[in-house]
Amino acid sequence: MKAETEAGAVVTATAAPPMIELTQLELHLASAGGEVNILRGLDLRVEAGETVGIVGPSGSGKSTMMMIIGGLERPTGGSVRVAGRDLAGLNEDALALFRRDKVGIVFQSFHLVPTMSALENVAVPLEFAGRRDAFDRARAGLEAVGLGHRLTHYPSQLSGGEQQRVAVARAFATEPDLLLADEPTGNLDGETGAQVMDVLFDLAERHGTTLLLITHDDELAHRCGRIVRLLDGLIVDGGQPA
Amino acid sequence: MTDDSCSGLAGWRLALRLARRELRGGLAGFRILIACLMLGVASIAGVGSLSQALLAGLAQDAREILGGDVAIRIVHAPAGTAELSWLDEHGAVARTIEMRAMALADTTAGGLTLVELKSVDDAWPLYGNLTTTPALPRAALFERRDGAWGAAVEANLLDRLGAGIGDTVRIGEARFQIRATIDREPDRAGGAGLFSLGPRVLIAGDALPDTRLIRPGSLAYYHYRIRLTDNADAHVWTRALEKAFPDAAWRVRTLDNASPQLQRMIDRTTLFLTLVGLTALLVGGVGVANAVNAYLDGKIAVIATLKCLGAPSSLVFRIYLLQILALSLAGIAAGVALGAAIPLVAADLLQGYLPVAARIAIYPQPLIAAALFGLLTAVAFAIWPIARAGEIPAASLFRNLVVPARIRPPPAYIAATATAGLALAALAIVTSRDAAFAAWFVAGAAAAMVAFRLAAAGTMALARRIRGIRRPGLRLALAGLHRPGAPTASVVLSLGIGLTVLTAVALIQGNLSRQITEELPADAPAFFFIDIQPDQIAPFEALLSSIDGVGKIEQVPMLRGRITALNGVPAGKAKVTGSRWVLEGDRGITWANAPPPDSPVIAGEWWPADYRGPLLVSIDGEVAANLGVEVGDTLTVNVLGREFTATIASLRAVKWRTLGINFVIIFSPGPLEAAPRMHIAIVHTDPAVETALERAVTDAFPNVSAIRVRTALDTVNGIVASIGTAVRMTAGVTLLAGTLVLAGAVAAGHRRRVYDSVILKVLGATRRNVLTIYALEYGLLGLATAAIAAIIGSIAAWAVLEFVMGIDSVWLSSVVIATGLGCTLATMLVGFAGTWRALGHKAAPLLRSE
């Protein structure tokens, strides 16, 4: 990046790399009926600290793109850089460690570990990170999402909204640089969904977390700083920062 | 749907239709259920079939085994002239004499060994054939040629003596040429029994006098086997014999108890193995319950849907009961088929060990019993989970994915479960050959199941209480033991029972072996010498004293006598609480001036050393208590047809394991001294001179037989070890059932483990993290199970050793630790393998929202 100083001197500075940089991203899957092109060479750049809403019809490739950004799926073409790392060079375990340190994910179906209490669910990523204060932080995280009274409950003993708040607390537990949220209110009623989103936006803002939010809800998408539209495996709008 | 269509017969029809539709999905989830039932049913059916086949063989071969329609045995002296002529008048008689003797090879190597000598007359065998290699006519086998009689010997004698066919051996004072080896001796099982101290040597009856082994008091068994004239009833014949000779001291056997030892052995083994099979089936029952639970877990949505569409609980119950029954029947049928085939294989394996050939056939009774056991087990273990699934409200089904609902089935189903359990217990008792023992087993099995259930609950509670663990892998593994839906309870119960049986068996066998060999007193004698004639005692002692390295020599006179009355009451009618063996048949008895060492007098007084008054007797205290006699009472013995009544002067606490000479019954000197007797001696010696000493004694006293203590104990130890191996193999069946349950639990948890490991990986866990967690979890589970099984198994072994066998038990830590570590490792590996498969799953498909 180049900038001109008041004195007229030209200074060359290396700016922080983008949080997400997808280049010509492709994903083709072979199926009985022939090859299916899920992503067809899309480009996306998201800067650190941005909040980006991803919208598009079902089957447009939103979730697949997010899975690739989270290192949960491998593209068949193009490059993926997240938080300065090229994910192509990472094996499964390196990807797990990368997620542990950099990425939090909130799913539409919550995906809590059903045999663990709320507190344990939130503490797990901290335990993997070797944090000695895992449980204290998990407790604080749950209190922050208003679930301080539900610590020992198992997922099946919690309502949908409560489960998703546990998932949010878990996603933020390691203070990730990037939070991926795939339709986090998709399984919740309007009011409960709104509460969860308030918590999520609030935490993202407080931690300065980059937020990538997949949603069908226009109103929700508009709470983000930028909206990216996908159609048929391509980004048709908002692929680059304004 | 109306009430009518869902209840009564119509309800069953509807349930059957729906059940069939659901079963189209395949049997994938039921492999373990089918395998569990198959294993248990096959064990019971196989043991039952084999036992029937052997008993049928025994019944069919009874004449051969007994050697006649009636067999009579007398110890020490042949039957009198009157008796013999009565026998000759009432049937065809074959005469044989059996005794122990020393055989010395006439080869340069000159091997020497103890043999089981049997002389036979021309009439022998009345039934069956003696087969030898080479096959020789009777005359060629036994006749005297060039000063040597012929002999047929068991093949292992050739190895022991370093001799071959055609070589000669010296037995007693006669020479015998080995003309053939014995392939089959028809009445072996009905003669001296299954336990022998040396190889068999068969000689002609005419050759025996030349050996000069038969002397007054020698321990010889005279057998008379009788073939009855046509259509004579053996029992009528026996009664006539008893009437003719009411006081004869002989043992009479007929076809229905041709070989009581063998029959008893088959009966006891069958009982034991059936109970092992039943244990395997009970353990398998846990697998059935797990499989049903896992299946219904996957059917929650279907059940909820059915209930939403109006299916009452009873219909849901029937639909799934029918499915489980259909699958159980498949497992049971496979088990029955496998069990019916077991005798085909086992009979071949047993051929070398048992003197009776199994009659291979399909025996319906054990197969039906095994199928019933399987069906009742399936029902007993399946009703509860099925009834519970039927009772869960439709609305809660959708959320009850993990936390098991604390819903009890309605009382009717609880009663049905209890009925099936009781029917199972009743069947076990009714079909057993020893109802009391089976009842104890049932009680023990119930107690063990409760104990393991409690132990599992304790393990889970302990895992819950352990806090402050920093390592996430260990903490998560520990938490895995008590999580809702954790397989801890079923694995601890099923694997634990198998492991307990194995631990107990290993400990019991270890203790027995230790008792026999390791605990052998340091001053144990090297030899027992038997059949020393009274006039040989002085030269015998002189000879031994002249050999360097020979230590202490003890000798006592020995006669054979039979207790005929206690306090004047005939022995057969005496009320006794135990030790009945003392009253059955001949016992070794002796007389002595002083009490033998290691047997302090605990009641009454020993007679003075120079006592020559009326006959007194001293008895083992425990035996006296069992026979209900005490000091001052009288005891009558029959020695070679003469009755002696003695007053009990003292009771002794006999220590049997010192390997000294001791007797249950010791008389005062005097009246018995006139009776024909022989002496037995024990000799302590330096191991280096054992062979020379044995040779010197045999050379000087050809009629004296030497029993090497170490060899005899090795023989016993070998038998104990073989029995132990067999028992361990059968205990392995129980353990296999436990492993199946473990594998079932791991398989049932597979879906959940795949999901958990994907989520953990999303949260930053590496594959190693996930593997560590599960390996540790299963390792801890195995360790906990092993620890519980070690405790319960040790207690069981201790109880059996102390109370049943009367042996001071020692806790053999290496046995228990080896068994426990094996279990831990196996459990860990099974869990590890399951997790490895789970790790291979891709994350994305599981995480996408449907």
User: What tokens does A57 get?
Assistant: 């019809």
Q: So what's the pLDDT on residue B180? A: 95
B848 contacts A128? CB cut-off 8 A:
no
Asked if residue B414 and residue B269 are part of one domain, the reply reads yes
Contact B847 A67 (CB under 8 A): yes
- Mutation target vs B (from A76, A109, A111; most B CBs, 10 A cutoff): A111
Task: Report if residue A161 sits inside a domain.
Answer: yes
pLDDT level of residue B150 (50, 70, 90 thresholds): very high
**pLDDT confidence of B517, banded at 50, 70, 90?**
low
A63/B403 CB distance under 8 A: no
Q: Has residue B153 got a pLDDT over 70?
A: yes
Pairing assessment for the beta strands B587-591 and B550-566 based on DSSP bridges = antiparallel
Q: Which of residues 725-764 of B touch A (CB under 8 A)?
A: 752, 755-756, 759-764
DSSP string spanning B756-814?
A: HHHHHHHTT--HHHHHHHHHHHHHHHHHHHHHHHHHHHHHHHHHIIIIIS-------HH
Contact A124 B472 (CB under 8 A): yes
What count of residues does chain B have?
850
B195 — pLDDT class (breaks 50, 70, 90): low
> β-strand A51-55 against A210-214: which pairing, if any?
parallel
The predicted pLDDT at position B316 comes to: 85
CA distance A84 to chain B (A): 18
**Count of domains forming chain A:** 1
B651 occurs within a structural domain: yes
Domain end point (choices B685, B701, B728): B685
Residue A126 has pLDDT above 50, yes or no: yes
pLDDT score for A10: 43
Look at residue A15 in the predicted model and tell me its pLDDT: 64
CA distance B320 to B384: 12
Average pLDDT, chain B: 83
Contact A128 B844 (CB under 8 A): no
Residue among A109, A120, A183 minimizing CB distance to B479? A120
Most confident among A234-238, B15-19, B331-335 (mean pLDDT): B331-335
Residue B801 has pLDDT above 50, yes or no: yes
Binding-face residues of B in 430-489 toward A, CB within 8 A: 470, 472, 475-476, 479-480, 483-486
Residue A242 pLDDT greater than 80, yes or no: no
- Interchain CB distance below 8 Å, A97 and B399: no
Torsion of CA B697, B701, B707, B708, to 10 degrees: 10
- Within this chain, do residues B16 and B43 fall inside the same structural domain, yes or no? yes
Tell me what ipTM this predicted complex has.
0.76
**Average of per-residue pLDDT across B202-231:** 89
Q: Are residues B737 and B609 in the same domain?
A: no
B305 and B335 in one domain?
A: yes
Q: Nearest residue of B to residue A73 by CA position?
A: B844
Residues on chain A touching B764 (C-beta within 8 angstroms): 96-97, 99-101, 125, 128-129, 174
Contact A75, A67 (CB under 8 A): no
Query: B761–A96: do the CB atoms touch at under 8 Å?
Result: yes
Q: What are A71-117's pLDDT values in tens digits? A: 888 899 999 999 999 998 888 888 888 888 899 999 888 888 877 88
pLDDT in tens, A168-224: 999 999 899 999 999 898 878 878 888 889 989 998 999 899 999 999 888 899 999
Domain check: are B269 and B381 in the same one? Answer: yes
Residues B401, B467: one domain? no
B339 with B296, same domain: the answer is yes
The parent domain of residue A23 ranges over 15-237
Could you tell me if residue B5 is inside a domain?
A: yes
Indicate the helix (H) or strand (E) that contains B478. Answer: helix B472-482
| In chain B, residues 372-411 whose CB comes closer than 8 Å to chain A | 399-403
Kindly list the residues from chain B whose CB atom is less than 8 angstroms away from the CB atom of residue A160: none
Looking at the structure, tell me whether residues B17 and B130 fall in a common domain. Answer: no
- What residue numbers bound the domain in which B104 lies? 95-214
**Tokens at B582, concatenated:** 């003392």
Whole-number pLDDT of residue A12: 44
End residue of a domain, out of B400, B433, B466 = B433
Q: Which residues of A touch B752 (CB under 8 A)?
A: 114-115
Does any domain span residue A63? yes
Best to test chain B binding among A116, A121, A135 (most B CBs inside 10 Å): A116
List the single range of A2-6, B233-237, B487-491, B755-759 with lowest mean pLDDT: A2-6
B849 with A63: Cβ contact below 8 A: yes
pLDDT tier at B397, thresholds 50, 70, 90: very low
In chain B, residues with a C-beta closer than 8 Å to the C-beta of A113 are 755-756, 759-760
Q: What's the whole-number mean pLDDT along residues B720-746?
A: 76
B433 beta partners: none
> Cα distance from B314 to chain A (closest Cα, Å)?
27
Q: Which of A100, A156, A187 sits opposite B764 (nearest CB)?
A: A100
Identify whether residues B111 and B202 lie together within a single domain: yes
A114/B402 Cβ within 8 A: yes
Average pLDDT over residues B825-830: 83
Q: Give the separation between CA B393 and CA A125, rounded to whole angstroms.
A: 36
- A129 CB within 8 Å of a chain B CB: yes
Residue A7 is assigned to a structural domain of this protein: no
Give, to the nearest 10 degrees, the angle between helix B31-60 and helix B364-391. Answer: 160
- Does residue B631 lie within any of the structural domains? yes
Q: Is residue B67 part of a domain?
A: no
Preceding amide of B355 cis, omega within 30? no
3-state secondary structure of B679: strand
Q: Give the pLDDT of residue B659.
A: 65
The tens digit of pLDDT for each residue in B643-662 reads 899 999 999 988 766 667 77
Among A residues 91-110, those touching chain B with beta carbons less than 8 Å apart: 92-93, 96-97, 99-101, 105, 107-109
| pLDDT tens, position by position, B74-107 | 887 888 899 999 999 888 999 999 998 999 988 7
The per-residue pLDDT for A4 is 42
**DSSP H or E run through B833:** helix B813-839
Domain shared by B635 and B670, yes or no = yes
CA B560 to chain CA mean position, Å? 31
Based on the fold, state whether residues B586 and B470 are members of the same structural domain.
Answer: no
In this predicted structure, which of A14-18, A19-23, B220-224, B770-774 has the lowest mean pLDDT?
A: A14-18
CA B741 to chain A, closest CA, distance in angstroms equals 21
Q: List for chain A the helix, strand, coil content (%; round to 5).
A: 35, 30, 40
Res B375: pLDDT:
94
Contact B563, B582 (CB under 8 A): yes
Q: CB B399 to CB A156 under 8 A?
A: yes
pTM: 0.71
**pLDDT score, position B349:** 77
pLDDT of residue B254 exceeding 60, the answer is yes
Is A108 contained in some domain? yes
Choose from A27-31, A213-217, B798-802 the range with maximum mean pLDDT.
A213-217
Distance in angstroms (rounded) separating the CA atoms of residues B725 and B510:
11
Q: Is residue B194 part of a domain?
A: yes
Q: At what angle do helices B690-700 and B537-545 cross, to 10 degrees?
A: 150
Q: What is the CATH number of the domain that holds A41?
A: 3.40.50.300
DSSP string, B192-210: T-S--SS-EEEEEGGGHHH
Of A160, A120, A155, A113, nearest to A141 by C-alpha is A120
The pLDDT of residue B651 is 93
Name the most confidently modeled range: B280-284, B512-516, B643-647, B675-679.
Answer: B643-647
Q: Do B849 and A120 touch (CB under 8 A)?
A: no
Say how many domains are in chain B. 4
The C-alpha atoms of residue B707 and residue B101 are separated, in whole angstroms, by 10
Interfacial A residues in 160-219 facing B (CB < 8 Å): 170, 174, 182-183, 186-187
What is the least distance, in Å, from the CA of A135 to any CA of chain B?
11
Average pLDDT (B299-321) is 79
3-class secondary structure per residue, A37-54: EEEEEEEEEECCCCEEEE
Question: Which parts of B2-114 fold into alpha helices (H)?
Answer: 3-6, 8-23, 31-60, 62-66, 81-89
> CA of A62: which chain B residue's CA is closest?
B848
Is B395 a residue whose pLDDT tops 60?
no
Say if A76 is an interface residue toward chain B (CB within 8 Å). Answer: no
pLDDT tens readout for residues B575-623:
888 777 777 777 788 998 888 877 889 999 999 988 888 999 999 988 8
The alpha carbon of residue B756 is apart from the nearest alpha carbon of chain A, in Å, by 6
**Is B544 domain-assigned?**
no
- Tell me which residue of B727, B60, B63, B64 sits closest to B361, measured CA to CA: B60
Output the pLDDT for position B819. 81
Q: Using an 8 Å CB-CB cutoff, list chain A residues near B842.
A: 73
Whether A132 contacts chain B with CB within 8 A: yes
Residue B484 with chain A: CB contacts under 8 Å? 115, 154
Tokens of A92: 């499964």
Cβ <8 Å between B403 and A101: no
Tokens 């280049």 correspond to: A23
pLDDT of the residue at B583: 79
Shortest CA distance from A101: residue in chain B: B764
Cα of A127 to nearest chain B Cα, Å: 6
Contacts of B61 (CB under 8 A, 6+ apart): B128, B258, B356, B357
Nearest to A125 among B483, B764, B766 (CB): B764
DSSP, collapsed to helix, strand or coil, labels residue B250 as coil
**Region label for B220, one of left (φ > 0), alpha (ψ between -120 and 50) or beta (otherwise):** beta
Structure-block tokens of residue B152 = 């047929």
Structure confidence at residue B117 as a pLDDT band (50, 70, 90): very high
Residues B784 and B645 in one domain: no
Query: Percentage of residues in chain B with pLDDT exceeding 70?
Result: 93
B665/B801: higher pLDDT: B665
> From start to end of A8-68, where are the E strands?
10-12, 20-31, 34-46, 51-55
CA distance B75 to B93: 18
Q: Which of the residue ranges A218-232, B683-697, B719-733 has the most confident prediction, judged by mean pLDDT?
A: A218-232
Strands A178-182 and A210-214: parallel
Euclidean distance between CA atoms B849 and A168, whole angstroms:
17
pLDDT value of residue B393 = 62
Task: Give the chain A residue nearest B840 (alpha carbons).
Answer: A92
More confident residue, B419 or B57: B419
In a domain, A2, yes or no: no
